[in-house]
């Protein structure tokens, strides 16, 4: 089982590699606004799905 530090590191890597400078996010943000772009990332983007999956590991993990 991964520890919290490893999970955060994996999330940072994904955000840096895929989300930083995302063309879809920037285009949607320009055309429809920031909240619409954010909703797209959360609900429709495959990278967002991966982030949610990894994030659920953090919520299932005991703190400390």
Tens digits of per-residue pLDDT, 15-50? Answer: 999 999 999 999 999 999 999 999 999 999 999 999
* Residues of the domain holding 9: 4-60
Query: How many domains does one find in the chain?
Result: 1
CA atoms within 13 A on the CB side of 36: 9
Q: Band the pLDDT of 58: cuts 50, 70, 90.
A: confident
**What is the structure's pLDDT at 1?**
67
Q: Band the pLDDT of 13: cuts 50, 70, 90.
A: very high
């Amino acid at each position: 089982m991964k520890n919290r530090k490893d999970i955060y590191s994996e999330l940072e890597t994904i955000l840096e590699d895929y989300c930083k400078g995302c063309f879809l996010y920037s285009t949607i943000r320009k055309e429809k606004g920031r909240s619409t772009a954010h909703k797209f990332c959360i609900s429709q983007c495959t990278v967002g799905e991966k982030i949610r999956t990894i994030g659920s590991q953090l919520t299932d993990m005991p703190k400390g």
